[in-house]
Amino acid sequence: MTAPASPAPSDKAPTRLGAAEIVPIVLFAGLALLPAAFGGRAYLLGLVMRGMIFAIAALGLDFLVGYGALVSFGHAASVGLGAYAVGILAAHGIAETLIALPVALLAATGFAALTGLVCLRTRGVYFIMITLAFGQMAYFTASSLAPYGGDDGLTVRMRDTLLGLPLFADEHAFYYVVFAALLGAYALARAVVGSRFGRVFRGARENAARLAAVGYDVYRFQLVGYAFAGTLGGLSGFLLANATDFVSPAYMSWQRSGELIIMVLLGGIGRLHGAVIGAIAFILIEEWLSGATEHWKLVFGPFLVLVVLFARGGLIGLGAQLSRVVRRG
């Protein structure tokens, strides 16, 4: 008597979607429907759009910190370079996306790759300090560009067009451009994390020596990952310059890099959708508190400390804890 054949893959019961899949779906669906729900509130849409722009940069930083244990305090330099690419080209009358976007991405990626050649030869606090040093070098270089505003920054007098069409001029259309860029960046980062490259990159965080022993060039994998994070920073800078019609050396400061790290921690480190949630939450909370009191930083700082100390996994972890309490109750 023969044993019954095992069921074909198509006969298996479908698996349920976990929180890791449901939360991003709900998040991006909500962002897509936001203009329809709050179409008349341009100010709110502008805040969320700004949060989405910074979320793209936070995705790159979360890839470094959460999956590679590479804490960079110079990530904002890539954002600033992307923004300055737009501003400098616009100052010379070039405002075409098909030109400005590749230049912004190449500038940010090239900077990340070149500085990564040096930074990734260090570890721990030395890595943090050298990324900070390169970031400040970019900041002071931008501050010295007198033809492009120097310390005062540079006004972008024309937003980029796409094949001559003023797509970025309409706020609702630009909102969906930013949304599409964020969704594409998230999908790309998630694909990279789940790829063979991503598995090696994550493995280097756990035990780089063991990976090197079995034949992987860990340094090369980390360098490509560092450059990839810079690319996302450049995309964020490109959109930021068009959203604010202004570029400034402050975009490259170590304080901005620190804010990006806080966004990642606030949302939940090592979760790509956590970086998106953290960036948008950071912008909204900052705006609300700054409108309530001029001493808003005295409130915001302790709040962030409490989140880090008691909400393991940031807002994502806090939500999971609350859902468990509700189920038990």
Percent of the chain topping pLDDT 70? 90
Is residue 214 one of the residues assigned to a domain?
Answer: yes
Chain Cα centroid distance, residue 79: 10
pLDDT band for position 298 (cuts 50, 70, 90) = confident
In a domain, 34, yes or no: no
Looking at residue 318, its pLDDT comes to 72
Q: What is the DSSP code string of 106-147?
A: HHHHHHHHHHHHHHTTS-HHHHHHHHHHHHHHHHHHHHT-GG
Report which of 216, 191, 192, 190 is spatially closest to residue 203, judged by C-alpha positions.
216
For the ranges 4-8, 64-68, 212-216, 252-256, the lowest mean pLDDT is seen at 4-8
Whether the predicted pLDDT of 39 surpasses 70: no
Distance CA 76, CA 209 (A): 30
User: Which of 29-33, 115-119, 288-292, 325-329 is least confident?
Assistant: 325-329
Q: Please tell me the distance from the alpha carbon of residue 185 to that of residue 105, in angstroms, as a whole number.
A: 13
Q: Could you tell me the CA-to-CA distances from 187 to 29, 66, 194, 270, 287 in Å, in that order?
A: 14, 17, 11, 15, 28
- Whether 194 maps to a domain, the answer reads yes
Task: Give the total number of structural domains in the chain.
Answer: 1
Is residue 49 included in any domain, yes or no?
Answer: yes
Q: Measured between alpha carbons, how far is residue 237 from residues 138, 166, 245, 251, 318 in Å? A: 14, 19, 12, 8, 30
Which one has a higher pLDDT value, 231 or 166?
231
Segment 177-197, tens digit of pLDDT: 999 999 999 999 999 999 999
210-259 pLDDT per residue, tens: 888 888 889 999 999 999 999 999 999 999 999 998 999 999 998 899 99
Cα end-to-end span (Å), the chain:
51
Confirm whether 192 is domain-assigned: yes
Q: Higher model confidence: residue 1 or residue 100? A: 100
pLDDT > 50? residue 208: yes
Between CA 252 and CA 257 the distance in angstroms is 7
Is residue 327 assigned to a domain?
no
- Token look-up 């797509």 returns 167
- Residue 37 is predicted with a pLDDT of 78
Q: Which of 59-63, 65-69, 226-230 has the lowest mean pLDDT?
A: 65-69
Query: Is 186 contained in some domain?
Result: yes
In this structure, is residue 188 part of a structural domain?
Answer: yes
**Containing structural domain, residue 176:** 42-260
Each residue's pLDDT tens digit, 266-291: 888 888 988 999 999 999 988 888 87
